Amino acid sequence: MSLYFFRISTGRYSGAADQPYEFEDRDAAWTEMSEVSANLLASIARNLKPNAKWCMELLDENKKPVFRISLVGEAVS
């Protein structure tokens, strides 16, 4: 079992978690991260401004990024 931390870069829940989460392996950690992100994305997308970015990262026990999921609102003209 490995320890991981979640970190969100934008919004009211910004920052890294103080408490680690324990997962059996990287696949299990990715599954949890993708499910958590899926639950948050609808409300985040509704409030995302043009040229803004929301990002969730999963950090290892040394707080180094392992996975990242990002949502970007881009103005293209």
- Say what the pLDDT of residue 14 is: 67
Determine contact, residues 5/16, Cβ cutoff 8 Å: yes
The model's pLDDT over 16-51, given as tens digits with 9 standing for 90+, comes to 778 999 999 999 999 999 999 999 888 888 888 888
Rounded distance between C-alpha atoms, residue 13 and residue 76, angstroms: 28
pTM over 0.85: no
Which two three-digit tokens encode residue 42? 């609808």
Domain spans of the chain, in order of start:
2-73
Query: Does residue 40 sit in helix, strand or coil?
Result: helix
